Amino acid sequence: MSKIGKKSIIVPEGVEAKIERGKVFVWGPKGKLELKIPRKIKVEEKENQLLVTRITEEKKTRASHGAIRQLVANAIRGVTEGWEKKLEVVGTGYRAAIEDNQLVLLVGFSHQLKIKPPEGIKIDVEDQKQIKVSGADKALVGQVAAQIRRARPPDSYKGKGIRYAGEEVKLKPGKAAKGGVAGEVGK
């Protein structure tokens, strides 16, 4: 039995979970989420708890048991607390702003990059250098944060670009550091 899969999921007050036709629907203060469950995995509700069990002992079913349980737990946490990712904009002249419910990035291109968040995702910008992506769906929050980072990933020589908060970028040495001093070549 899967260590994670056999743990029960507590449904807190203010959250409603409904299991119907191979799907789990979860409502809470932060929104509504829907999760599709594979046919060979069963989710049942008992006394404010959800239990995820396997119907068969096939290898593929055993492998996805714990993952499905964790996805259901993430959905419940998402509608109660929400998920968030923070990004930093690093570089001279690089900045971010919110205009008309879109994220506008000025990151060294000749034009502005505009990113419209999907439904259920909220993007906040603090002091033009900090971007916060939040929402109830953990996967969607991560996907939008990755899309923003992909607009200008950190440069490996100067470190300029968009990175996750706390991400360390290992800088490569430039040409001068590899070849020695320019005046000593050919002596």
Domain boundaries, the chain: 9-80, 83-164
Is the fold of 9-80 the same as that of 83-164? yes
CATH 3.40.50.1360: does it fit domain 83-164? Answer: no
CATH number of 9-80: 3.90.930.12
Tokens of 33: 């989420």
**What's the pLDDT at 131?**
97
How far, CA to CA in Å, does 181 sit from each of 156, 173, 177?
22, 14, 8
Series of mean pLDDT values for 10-residue runs along the chain (187 residues): 83 91 92 93 91 91 93 95 96 94 94 95 95 96 97 93 93 76 53
